[in-house]
A = this chain, B = another copy of it.
Amino acid sequence: MIGRLNHVAIVVPDLEAAARTYRDTLGATVSGAVDLPDHGVTTVFVELPNTKIELLHPLGEDSPIAKFLEKNASGGMHHVCYEVEDILAARDKLVAEGARILGDGEPKTGAHGKPVLFLHPKDFCGTLVEIEEV
């Protein structure tokens, strides 16, 4: 069912410093900062030859990653995103297998403008998993 690893998301306390680390220290290709107010994050995309790293920083009062940063002051890996062809078929299979979908179970429009769902970390080896229809 799952296809490519679309991205790994890393929450960071200082987006400019993180972008510098990836650009100057690790020598990667890094985008400018992009505000995504609907998602409560500002993001910098690190383009690798085969996938992306997304550096995330909280934006606004109710950012969904604010608590993560409180618990992990230095930042840390937040989630992995796997691509699926049909998000509703994927959801139905996941639910049939006993996996829990976060929220109301209906796909939302993700940071790339495509339908996404988040899956419960306890059902996936302690890892928050996003699936994105591509």
Residues of B within 8 A of A93 (CB): 25, 27
| Copies of this chain in its oligomeric complex | 2
Given known pairs A26-B1, A28-B2, A51-B51, the reply for A80 and B82 (CB within 8 Å) is no
Contact between A127 and B1, CB atoms less than 8 A apart: no
State whether the Cβ of A41 lies closer than 8 Å to any Cβ in chain B: no
Given known pairs A3-B48, A50-B50, the reply for A8 and B80 (CB within 8 Å) is yes
Residues of B within 8 A of A28 (CB): 1-2
State whether the Cβ of A33 lies closer than 8 Å to any Cβ in chain B: no
Residues of B within 8 A of A80 (CB): 8, 53, 77
Chain A interface category by residue count: 35 or more
Residue in B1, B50, B51 whose CB lies within 8 Å of A27 = B1
A94 to chain B, nearest CB (A): 6
Residue in B8, B12, B125 whose CB lies within 8 Å of A76 = B125
A101 to chain B, nearest CB (A): 12
State whether the Cβ of A55 lies closer than 8 Å to any Cβ in chain B: yes
**CA of A126 to CA of B18 in the docked complex: distance in angstroms?**
10
